[in-house]
Amino acid sequence: MKSEETNALVLGRFQPFHKGHLEVIRTIAKEWDSVTIGIGSAQFSHTYENPFTAGERHLMISKALRDDGMTNYSILPIVDVNRYAVWVAHVVSMVPPFKAVYSNNALTKRLFSEAGYEVRASPLFNRETYSGTEIRRRILIGEKWKHLVPKATAKVIEEIDGIQRLKDLCAGAAPLRYSNEPAEGSWEDH
Ligand code: ATP
Ligand code: MG
């Protein structure tokens, strides 16, 4: 499919969507006609590392980008295929044509560049705190976290009782996990 419009692809798990993600997408959206945001590991939810469903993450992103006044984006869930050799083809089959992919993950970068795609690293903003891992940790232990996410993300988390969900997931000896959950960061960066 040919298109004169330029589109860039951004991949992440967005557990949850935070201000670092917003800043990256804002920057990319200025450079390209449109941005496709792929919600990775879309099949996972209700685990400590992946607490929110793809639908909940979609809401966080769409509401935050709408509040930001952005219109040139689309958001698509992408479930994992646990075969890296076919992962790029899988992603490509799920999203509109794109000219470049943005990621900081070494494996993602390698797989897309081996497949002939232009790969760009996105600049990191305030990475110590604009981090999904850090935000989940703060929610769990009751430390301040709302200033690290767009207002829309905090609202969605509140509406779905997400704070209690995270705490419940971690109650007891070990966090709930699916046995086939990929190791942390298996395809996305840390
Ligand atoms: P986790 O700690 O759960 O892995 P994360 O903050 O790394 O969460 P991801 O969904 O894994 O978020 O990341 C998606 C993409 O967003 C990655 O390419 C990542 O490099 C980028 N990203 C994450 N945090 C920032 C940030 N603070 N500034 C810029 N880009 C970021
Ligand atoms: Mg990460």
- Closest C-alpha to 56, from 8, 95, 17: 17
**Dihedral, 121, 127, 133, 137 alpha carbons, nearest 10:** -170
d(CA 93, CA 3) in angstroms, rounded, equals: 16
d(CA 135, CA 143) in angstroms, rounded, equals: 9
Look at the block and give the residue holding tokens 């969900």.
165
d(CA 152, CA 106) in angstroms, rounded, equals: 30
Give a yes or no: residue 175 inside a domain.
no
Count how many domains the chain has: 1
Q: Which bound ligand lies closest to the C-alpha atom of 129?
A: 1
The alpha carbon of 187 and the centre of ligand 2 are apart by a number of angstroms equal to 9
Give a yes or no: residue 136 inside a domain.
yes
Q: What is the pLDDT along the chain (190 residues), one digit of tens a residue?
A: 555 899 999 999 999 999 999 999 999 999 999 999 999 999 999 999 999 999 999 999 999 999 999 999 999 999 999 899 999 999 999 999 999 999 999 999 999 999 999 999 988 999 999 999 999 999 999 999 999 999 999 999 999 999 999 999 998 545 445 444 444 444 454 4
| Confidence (pLDDT) at 65 | 98
Beta-bridge partners for 77: 39
Give a yes or no: residue 117 inside a domain.
yes
The alpha carbon of 137 and the centre of ligand 1 are apart by a number of angstroms equal to 15
Mutating to test ligand 1, I would choose from 22, 24, 91, 107 the residue with most ligand atoms within 8 A of its C-beta, which is 24
- Closest C-alpha to 21, from 50, 172, 29: 29
d(CA 37, CA 146) in angstroms, rounded, equals: 23
The answer to whether the CB of 47 falls within 8 A of the CB of 136 is no
Q: Is ligand 1 within 6 A of the CB of residue 57?
A: no
Q: Is ligand 1 within 6 A of the CB of residue 132?
A: yes
Give a yes or no: residue 188 inside a domain.
no
Written as six digits, the tokens of 177 are: 């996990």
Residues of the domain holding 163? 1-169
Q: Is ligand 1 within 6 A of the CB of residue 12?
A: yes
Q: Residue 45 is part of a domain; what is its CATH number?
A: 3.40.50.620
Beta-bridge partners for 38: 11, 76
Give a yes or no: residue 4 inside a domain.
yes
Q: Is ligand 1 within 6 A of the CB of residue 125?
A: yes
Task: Look up the pTM and report it.
Answer: 0.91
Give a yes or no: residue 38 inside a domain.
yes
d(CA 144, CA 177) in angstroms, rounded, equals: 25
Helix (H) or strand (E) holding 120: strand 118-120
d(CA 101, CA 49) in angstroms, rounded, equals: 24
Written as six digits, the tokens of 156 are: 């969605």
